[in-house]
Structure 1
Amino acid sequence: MRPYTFVFYLHLMKHILGVTNTLCEALQRKDQDILNAVKLVKTTKEELQTYQLEGFDSLLIDVTSFCEKYDIEMVNMEAVYVDPKNRRKKTGITNRQHYVVNNFKTVLDMQIQELGNRFNEVTTNLLIYMSSLSPCLNFGAFDKLNLLKLAEMYPCDFNFDEKDKLFYELGNYIANVKEDTRFDDLNGVSKLAKRMVETRKHIDFPLVYRLIKLSLVLPVATASVERSFSSMKHLKTELRNRMGDGFLNDAYICYIEREFLQQVSIEDVMQRFQKMKTRREQL
């Protein structure tokens, strides 16, 4: 842990993780605001790109200060770089060029490309269009043109006549739900879908309800689906790899919704099992 290269990478990753921390926390919240998440992705990429162009000298100052404090041998940036795997071969570059090109910019390029791959233009537009369905703040994010573009992305679900009809249905829909006080306390698309069924508005606005259902089947609003798949390694282990689908599903629900299940007392569980059938002994 004392080589200069380790200290250099340590400070570099500390800065990268600090820049991306806000975005990571935002993407993992269950009450995710899609539009704000998209803006966070954009600003995070811009911050990393700016740091890539202008941040090497400031990073070097932090690394030098750290090395002086803990008496770590520093590298002369103006000296000729020597490849540790082939010391006899001349590289023709200085240590500064090596750390800038092969270390600093390479790591930042990887981070920027990863964000670009995960949130490409199509995915970003999809998230923006979906955010127009949000009922938060009395449907403040509603945008008819964005929702029409969202329908264009599902050619198999909306034919030409339905797309034309959707334009007028969206206008009637937003005027109707804004005046209905039963839609005032909603804070998510899933709750909007439930409220539409409860009020039977899904019958009056079938095309809008279809858009809402298409948005719900895409696991892009939260990281809950990713967390669900990650939990498989905790439940379906080598010792429990033959459990049935029913039991596995029940176990997953208990594991994923453990925060909710903590509110259920042991006595209530025992009474539930006791009432399921007649038992010889009292639980």
Structure 2
Amino acid sequence: MKLVSTTKSLLQNLRNEKWEHFLDTVKSFCEKNEIDVPDMNARYTRARGRSCRQNEESFMTMEHHFRIDVFIAAIDFQLQELDNRFSEHVVELLCLSAALSPQDAYKSFKIDDICSLVEKFYPQDFTEQEKIILRFQLDHYKLDVPKHSDFQNMSTLSELCRGLAISGKSKIYNLIDRLIRLVLTLPVSTATTERAFSAMKLVKTRLRSRMEDEFLADNLVVYIEKEIAKDFTTEMIMDEFYSMKNRRR
């Protein structure tokens, strides 16, 4: 999350202060590779067929076009994409989730952050009584798990979750184990959603715009899980279809 924040700052600095340096770098590259460099002070004319305001165009130079319409537009798009993917809500969720991480000898472990994670993002998964018990479990967990030999040198939540299950401590710290499992579903749910939207653009095209929701969902499942679906044979599908109800083959 710190890298996301610093990336935004660097992009903003590039947008506001680094145009001249960027332009010099591009010119140097073009000269070395014998690429023609347009006169930046020349008047810029848009391609025919595009709507434009002639009064503005008459004062637009090539440099203005490349800086505003290309350079700044590209950076603004990247900043917008970062804001969409890492909103304040998402950043807070990921930062609070990091309090459960066993990395660097449980350096990020903070009871208050873990309780805030449950209160803000998983209120429906824990009752009010369980939220109180969770804090007591965390007090014991802090003095037990990080110092236990079986839980040393762990770096991921999945390793921690597996270790709790193998050692039986998932029953002792059942609420903490539940929270860890909920956090572990975050990458899966996000990836599944992104894959579904990407697949939808390919399956439901302009020519298939009247496709019913149920038929669309069935097609998306087959497309998204094509690695699994490729192992299905026609005979397997026929047998499954026939087992649902007595039918003529």
With the length of structure 1 as denominator, give the TM-score of the two structures.
Answer: 0.63
Secondary structure at 1:218 match in 2: helix
Identify if the C-alpha distance between structure 1 residues 68 and 180 changes in structure 2 by more than 3 Å, giving closer, same or farther.
closer
Identify if the C-alpha distance between structure 1 residues 72 and 250 changes in structure 2 by more than 3 Å, giving closer, same or farther.
closer
* Corresponding position of 2:79: 112
Quote the Cα distance in structure 2 between the aligned partners of 1:138 and 1:177.
10
* Corresponding position of 2:94: 127
Equivalent pair of 1:190/1:216 in contact (CA under 8 Å):
yes
Unaligned residue ranges in structure 1 (runs of 5+):
1-37, 234-240, 252-283
* Corresponding position of 2:134: 166
Equivalent pair of 1:189/1:212 in contact (CA under 8 Å):
yes
Secondary structure at 1:81 match in 2: coil
Quote the Cα distance in structure 1 between the aligned partners of 2:53 and 2:147.
79
Matched, 1:194 2:146: no
Post-superposition offset of 1:154: 0.8
Equivalent pair of 2:102/2:155 in contact (CA under 8 Å):
yes
Q: CA RMSD in A?
A: 3.5
Number of residue pairs matched by the alignment: 206
Quote the Cα distance in structure 1 between the aligned partners of 2:13 and 2:229.
46
Unaligned residue ranges in structure 2 (runs of 5+):
203-220, 232-249
Higher helix share: 2
Identify if the C-alpha distance between structure 1 residues 128 and 250 changes in structure 2 by more than 3 Å, giving closer, same or farther.
farther
Quote the Cα distance in structure 1 between the aligned partners of 2:123 and 2:53.
62
Post-superposition offset of 1:67: 2.5
Post-superposition offset of 1:177: 0.6
Post-superposition offset of 1:85: 2.3
Give, as a single letter, the amino acid of the residue that structure 1 aligns with 2:134. Answer: L
Secondary structure at 1:125 match in 2: helix
* Corresponding position of 2:68: 101
Equivalent pair of 1:129/1:149 in contact (CA under 8 Å):
yes
Quote the Cα distance in structure 2 between the aligned partners of 1:136 and 1:53.
37
Of residues 58, 75, 79 in structure 1, which corresponds to 2:38? 75
Give, as a single letter, the amino acid of the residue that structure 1 aligns with 2:228. Answer: L
Equivalent pair of 2:19/2:67 in contact (CA under 8 Å):
yes
* Corresponding position of 2:21: 58
Structure 1 stretches of 4+ with a deviation exceeding 3 A read 86-90, 220-227
Quote the Cα distance in structure 1 between the aligned partners of 2:10 and 2:222.
48
Post-superposition offset of 1:185: 2.9
Of residues 248, 254, 265 in structure 1, which corresponds to 2:228? 248
Equivalent pair of 1:83/1:89 in contact (CA under 8 Å):
no
Matched, 1:214 2:214: no
Quote the Cα distance in structure 1 between the aligned partners of 2:168 and 2:184.
18
Quote the Cα distance in structure 1 between the aligned partners of 2:222 and 2:144.
52
Post-superposition offset of 1:249: 6.7
Equivalent pair of 2:101/2:108 in contact (CA under 8 Å):
yes
Identify if the C-alpha distance between structure 1 residues 130 and 249 changes in structure 2 by more than 3 Å, giving closer, same or farther.
farther
Measured against aligned partners, the alpha-carbon deviations of 1:237-261 in whole angstroms (never above 9, x if no partner) come to: xxxx989x8x92796xxxxxxxxxx
Post-superposition offset of 1:220: 6.7
Post-superposition offset of 1:226: 7.5
Give, as a single letter, the amino acid of the residue that structure 1 aligns with 2:108. Answer: A
Post-superposition offset of 1:105: 0.5
Measured against aligned partners, the alpha-carbon deviations of 1:72-118 in whole angstroms (never above 9, x if no partner) come to: 33222223222232699451222222221111110100011101101
Quote the Cα distance in structure 1 between the aligned partners of 2:80 and 2:53.
35
* Corresponding position of 1:84: 47
Post-superposition offset of 1:171: 1.2
Higher relative contact order (CA 8 A, sep 6+): 1
With the length of structure 2 as denominator, give the TM-score of the two structures.
Answer: 0.71
Equivalent pair of 2:222/2:229 in contact (CA under 8 Å):
no
Measured against aligned partners, the alpha-carbon deviations of 1:46-82 in whole angstroms (never above 9, x if no partner) come to: 1111111111101111122223233333222223222
Quote the Cα distance in structure 2 between the aligned partners of 1:220 and 1:56.
39
